[in-house]
């Protein structure tokens, strides 16, 4: 049976950095207009924690704010992310379509497992027509624990998958693979950190390298 490939979205398939700064600047400008924020936009801090669920993002970026204000920021940020996707400000990483074609031709089912929210992921999948290749896209919102390990486990159970690999750029992806007995493939892309990548089974610098790993 062909191996199933479970991809992360942000920093693996989608170049989130292209819309991240725009959307984050808009969000904190909005918070300033409400007198809920002073100072600069904490873009670098967000880059350091990229890949964690959004509730953790706001707890980290706004530790002294109420949950109500964090939720306001979260909603506004999501609106701006989706708007920037739909106006073409984002981009996929090089060779996404090529590797998806290769996997599909080899009969390898493709899934997406992301800490992103459902509406955000749908915007990306729809804009770039990823549904032509992807069997199903899964959001952390679908899992009560907000743990990507559990999200990957959910995919394996739903589709009765016995052999799979997880492809992602952050430790949450690597852990999700390891804790489910799967191959962990780390992507040395924009948000990757070398100390995290060391824990992967294989590290790639380009998605086309997956062809060699899976003999496509």
Looking at residue 181, its pLDDT comes to: 97
Identify whether residues 10 and 100 lie together within a single domain.
yes
Is residue 86 within 8 Å of 7, Cβ to Cβ? no
Identify whether residues 8 and 23 lie together within a single domain.
no
Single out the residue of 60, 59, 93 nearest to residue 190, CA to CA: 93
50-106 pLDDT, tens per residue? 767 778 889 999 999 999 999 999 999 999 999 999 999 999 999 999 999 999 999
Identify whether residues 197 and 130 lie together within a single domain.
yes
The mean predicted confidence, pLDDT, of the chain is 94
Q: What is the mean pLDDT of residues 159-166?
A: 97
Last-in-domain residue among 64, 86, 108: 86
Give percent above pLDDT 90 in the chain: 85
Last-in-domain residue among 52, 86, 120: 86
Looking at residue 51, its pLDDT comes to: 66
Is residue 59 within 8 Å of 5, Cβ to Cβ? no
Report the chain's terminal Cα–Cα distance, integer Å.
14
Supply the CATH number for residue 158's domain. Answer: 3.40.50.1000
Q: Where are the alpha helices (DSSP H) in 34-134?
A: 43-49, 54-61, 67-86, 96-105, 118-127
Whether 1 has a pLDDT exceeding 80, the answer reads: no
Of 121-125, 142-146, 203-207, the poorest mean pLDDT is in: 142-146
Identify whether residues 123 and 151 lie together within a single domain.
yes
Q: What is the mean pLDDT of residues 173-200?
A: 96
């Amino acid at each position: 049976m062909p191996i199933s490939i479970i991809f992360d979205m942000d920093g693996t398939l989608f170049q989130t950095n292209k819309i991240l700064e725009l959307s984050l600047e808009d969000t904190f400008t909005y918070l300033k207009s409400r007198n809920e924020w002073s100072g600069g936009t904490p873009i670098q801090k967000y880059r350091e924690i990229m890949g964690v669920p959004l509730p953790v993002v706001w707890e980290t970026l706004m530790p002294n704010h109420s949950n109500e204000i964090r939720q306001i920021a979260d909603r506004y940020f999501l609106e701006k992310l989706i708007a920037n996707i739909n106006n073409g400000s984002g981009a996929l990483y090089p060779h996404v379509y090529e590797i998806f074609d290769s996997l599909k031709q080899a009969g390898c089912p493709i899934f997406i497992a992301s800490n992103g929210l459902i509406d955000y992921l749908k915007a990306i999948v729809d804009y770039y027509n990823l549904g032509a290749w992807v069997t199903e896209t899964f959001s952390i919102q679908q899992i009560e624990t907000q743990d990507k390990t559990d999200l990957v486990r959910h995919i394996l159970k739903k589709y009765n998958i016995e052999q799979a690999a997880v492809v992602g750029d952050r430790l949450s992806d690597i852990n999700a693979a390891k804790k489910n007995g799967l191959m962990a493939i780390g992507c040395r892309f924009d948000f990757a950190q070398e100390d995290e990548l060391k824990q992967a089974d294989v590290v790639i610098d380009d998605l086309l390298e997956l062809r060699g790993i899976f003999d496509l």
